[in-house]
A and B are shown apart, each in its own frame.
Chain A
């Protein structure tokens, strides 16, 4: 009886306009100010690192999609490009280019495809790549150059957080001025230095609702409280919360990495728990750990808790009685 004119399919028959590539490209657009800032501060080095990192990520992704017989349209969903950009942004500008490529390949391989590709990965892929490089090339990963725009002639240039940790800068009153931290005229990873450029992109993402606001708000609040308590008890020994918020990878981590949808919890309550965990860990590592910076490890550590958090923070079903 059925003629072939009409399609038979299950409801719903309407579909919103949102798509995975749209979300991913919104993230890429939001990174543009910070990328532009890194071109300004580190010039040709920046361009080379971005180019190599992104193309190595794309090639690795293509190889895995092919090998695993996955649809090739996933290559251009934007996720591999984001991994490439974020990895590049967290690398020292002086890093040799072959190490950049290794980092990119490891990001996509160990960070993404061993778990089953986009959506199934437990860790933020870019941070997996960076963590690998940190362990494999500890010296290269902690050698810093000043930005082109900051003509300090020094052989052992350190980041603001490095100064704080190893030179007791707080005690000597030699902390990097907040103004420089804000604009980015400092040493540090390629795309982390300019707080203002990152915040501009973050505002765009929040406006687009591409990220959960609870995660950056949670991280920033707990870090402010944690570092604030120590600062108030010993301002000659500890840096102020404002310094901690603007220095290092805090902003890029809180707004662009911890908020990775795949590797953060589903429920609002889960997002708060996850964010507080990250913020607290960052504070502890920065103040008492062996590294000057703790954003990367904090996020990776909390990533591992996400499945557990999801399990115990299931949203209340309509009409469900509270469990006593």
Chain B
């Protein structure tokens, strides 16, 4: 358990570790929650959980130098656990010309229904805060801000009582979706605006999810690579919803069975949250590092679609300041240059527009179509 079983030479990658102890049976394609089957290592679990002998503790984790921390994080295969699974080592290596002054720890649940981050903060506050301190050391930042939504008062009180000696600030935010989106979180906490097409680096910020910093602490403190994660198994279609710590590579079916199985009426299975999650055709897919939730419910009947009546609800709710209805029309008509100049590529697909659309128009779908067409066109041009 914990042995490295997959690695890539690319900078934007993370290695994979075995989440059980046992024997490699085969390496062949297997279903993947993102769609197409990918090469996968099948390991027969001997159930002993014998830890790989090369895994060792680090003494005084908080006195390690930045280079060492980055190295451990990269070696432990840690990625952003909010859902996007961006390799964390990359985030800890800001460009030289962009000094980082603030670390933001994202304690806002990234989507409704998901509550795993909330549980983590209640059960592992010390690990999370110390992990954040490691990120601060690794990036040379001055302070840490933990942003949590004001519906998590229990966490707020718990952390207030702890009196950490780190340069830590705990900030309560309005509970809203998408509060946990990186750029919106930065503007809510610091009133800094990340330029279009830019990264948090550009405004001196690194954002890390609470699950990620806990994983960083675990890796640095105990040497444990990222082979398990917290996730929410929920929705009306799950018999007894739970937050679980699940080993990477376990099947959705295992997690669902552990939660009492599926209700008969359940007819949709989603990886992630209800707003951005990916519908799955089968529970025979593995939990991956980006699996923040497994949801199932009975989907209501198809809603009738009306014409857009320009009610502007999508405009009011777009966190990126876009005009989704206009982008939808441009995308439908293949007016790609107009779509681009109206900011279609800035869309984060949060789903707020479509949620609020009274006409029931699949706005996100049309925006995705437009974005894909533009990306394809650019790829062809550069090829």
Residues of A within 8 A of B (CB): 1-3, 5-16, 18-20, 22-23, 71, 73-74, 77, 79, 117-120, 212, 261-262, 264, 266-267, 310, 314-321
Residues of B within 8 A of A (CB): 31, 112, 183-184, 187, 193-198, 267-270, 272, 274-282, 284, 299, 303-304, 306-313, 315, 319-323, 325-326, 342-343, 346, 349-351, 354-360, 362, 364-365, 368
Closest CB in chain B relative to A214 CB, distance in Å: 11
Residue of B nearest to A118 (CB): B307
CA–CA, A16 and B359, complex, Å: 11
Question: Given A7-B299, A118-B307, are A18 and B313 neighbors across the interface (CB < 8 Å)?
Answer: yes
Q: Are B310 and A264 touching (Cβ within 8 A)?
A: yes
Q: Are A119 and B284 touching (Cβ within 8 A)?
A: no
Question: Given A12-B355, A19-B360, A73-B304, are A319 and B193 neighbors across the interface (CB < 8 Å)?
Answer: yes
Residue of B nearest to A321 (CB): B195
Question: Given A8-B279, A8-B281, are A118 and B306 neighbors across the interface (CB < 8 Å)?
Answer: yes
12 pairs, CB–CB < 8 Å, chain A vs chain B:
A9-B279, A11-B275, A13-B277, A15-B354, A18-B356, A20-B358, A261-B310, A267-B312, A310-B326, A318-B193, A319-B197, A320-B195
Q: Could you say which of B112, B310, B364 has the most chain A C-beta atoms within 10 Å of its C-beta?
A: B310
Q: Are A7 and B310 touching (Cβ within 8 A)?
A: no
CA–CA, A117 and B359, complex, Å: 14
Residue of B nearest to A77 (CB): B306
Q: Are B310 and A20 touching (Cβ within 8 A)?
A: no
Q: Which residues of A contact B319 (CB under 8 A)?
A: 318
Q: Are A317 and B322 touching (Cβ within 8 A)?
A: yes
A-B contacts counted at CB < 8 A amount to: 160
CA–CA, A74 and B306, complex, Å: 7
Q: Which residues of A contact B284 (CB under 8 A)?
A: 1
CA–CA, A79 and B313, complex, Å: 18
Q: Which residues of B contact A71 (CB under 8 A)?
A: 304
Closest CB in chain B relative to A235 CB, distance in Å: 41
Q: Which residues of A contact B270 (CB under 8 A)?
A: 11, 13
CA–CA, A79 and B275, complex, Å: 30
Partner of A11, one of B278, B280, B299, B309: B278
Q: Could you say which of B279, B304, B312, B349 has the most chain A C-beta atoms within 10 Å of its C-beta?
A: B312
Residue of B nearest to A263 (CB): B310
Q: Are B275 and A266 touching (Cβ within 8 A)?
A: no
Residue of B nearest to A315 (CB): B321
Partner of B276, one of A12, A23, A77, A321: A12
CA–CA, A266 and B308, complex, Å: 12
CA–CA, A8 and B270, complex, Å: 9
Q: Which residues of B contact A118 (CB under 8 A)?
A: 306-307, 309
Q: Are A14 and B267 touching (Cβ within 8 A)?
A: no
Closest CB in chain A relative to B358 CB, distance in Å: 4
Closest CB in chain B relative to A144 CB, distance in Å: 34
Closest CB in chain A relative to B327 CB, distance in Å: 11
Q: Which residues of A contact B309 (CB under 8 A)?
A: 20, 23, 79, 118-119, 261-262
CA–CA, A5 and B284, complex, Å: 13
Q: Which residues of A contact B356 (CB under 8 A)?
A: 16, 18
Q: Which residues of B contact A310 (CB under 8 A)?
A: 326
CA–CA, A13 and B365, complex, Å: 12
CA–CA, A264 and B362, complex, Å: 23
Q: Given contacts A1-B31, A315-B321, A319-B197, list 16 more A-B pairs with CB under 8 A.
A: A7-B268, A9-B268, A10-B279, A11-B278, A11-B349, A13-B268, A16-B356, A16-B357, A20-B358, A118-B307, A119-B310, A262-B310, A317-B196, A317-B321, A318-B196, A318-B319
Question: Given A23-B358, A320-B196, are A12 and B310 neighbors across the interface (CB < 8 Å)?
Answer: no
Partner of B308, one of A6, A119, A314: A119
Q: Are B310 and A315 touching (Cβ within 8 A)?
A: no
Q: Are A22 and B322 touching (Cβ within 8 A)?
A: no
Q: Which residues of A contact B274 (CB under 8 A)?
A: 11-14
Q: Are A266 and B312 touching (Cβ within 8 A)?
A: yes
CA–CA, A200 and B322, complex, Å: 34
Q: Are B187 and A318 touching (Cβ within 8 A)?
A: yes
CA–CA, A318 and B279, complex, Å: 29
Residue of A nearest to B181 (CB): A318
Closest CB in chain B relative to A231 CB, distance in Å: 35
